[in-house]
Amino acid sequence: MGWLSNILRNSRSGIDLSILKTDMHSHLIPGIDDGATSLENSIELIKGLKDLGYSKLITTPHIMSDFYKNTPEIILGGLELVRAELKKQQIEIEIEAAAEYYCDHSFEKLIEQKNLLTFASNYVLFELSYLNPPEIFETVTFKLQMEGYKPVLAHPERYPYWFQSFEKFREIRDKGILFQVNLGSLSGHYGAGTKRTAERLIDEGLVDIIGTDTHKISHIDLFKTKAIKENYLQKAIDSGRLLNTSL
């Protein structure tokens, strides 16, 4: 069945995200960043993602030197807490943890120390400032690759300084840096410019992973009511490029 047929089929009920299997960007560990606020909230969010069709979650708390001073020990300890509660409530879903690193000098040091939380085949998720591209971007991504890591840039569509310089996206992707687009971006949650950029990235075959970037229950509601009905989500799936199922 082609792209148009799938769109027509899913126009009312929305796309069953079981086709993706894995979400690899979320903030589900309670009380350690701007995501889940309590264990109860964590379970609520996980249930919501399961209802959307996901069977595996790789949650990625922020590691940001100025705000979220998380460590592998803090994150993995929180993961075990969540796993124990899921087992207690008999909620069957696979859950792992990595991190969403902020691209700064502290991140550069962690790379040098080889002290990173990774997922799948040594992938590392990292984000940038929304105000200005970091001067160390090329240095950091080169170091990641030299140390054997596979860099994944979180939500490239949300960096407005590249909206008018689309060639920059191609340049970055050509260097082997993977792109993870947010599900919410496709529904316009982060603004019209972000939506247009996400769509163009899909049009040009530059998107490698779709992630939810779930922080709160309103995100789950957005996915259920709007995002899973977006034509460009179906187009990304039909591209055959997405790596979600292999994570």
Please state, rounded to an integer, the average pLDDT across all residues of the chain: 94
- Among 78, 81, 87, 47, which Cα is nearest to 60's? 78
Write down the pLDDT at residue 12.
Answer: 54
Domain 3-241, architecture per CATH: Alpha-Beta Barrel (3.20)
The predicted-structure confidence for 7-28, as pLDDT tens digits, reads as follows 444 445 799 999 999 999 999 9
Write down the pLDDT at residue 127.
Answer: 98
The predicted-structure confidence for 152-177, as pLDDT tens digits, reads as follows 999 999 999 999 999 999 999 999 99
3-class DSSP state for residue 154? strand
Write down the pLDDT at residue 5.
Answer: 43
Yes or no: say if 121 and 90 are a contact pair by the CB < 8 Å rule.
no
Whole-angstrom distance, CA of residue 132 vs CA of residue 105: 15
- Among 208, 210, 183, which Cα is nearest to 194's? 183
Write down the pLDDT at residue 13.
Answer: 78
pLDDT at 52 over 70: yes
Tell me the domain boundaries of the chain: 3-241
Residues pairing with 100 in the sheet: 62, 125
pLDDT at 83 over 70: yes
The predicted-structure confidence for 68-77, as pLDDT tens digits, reads as follows 999 999 999 9
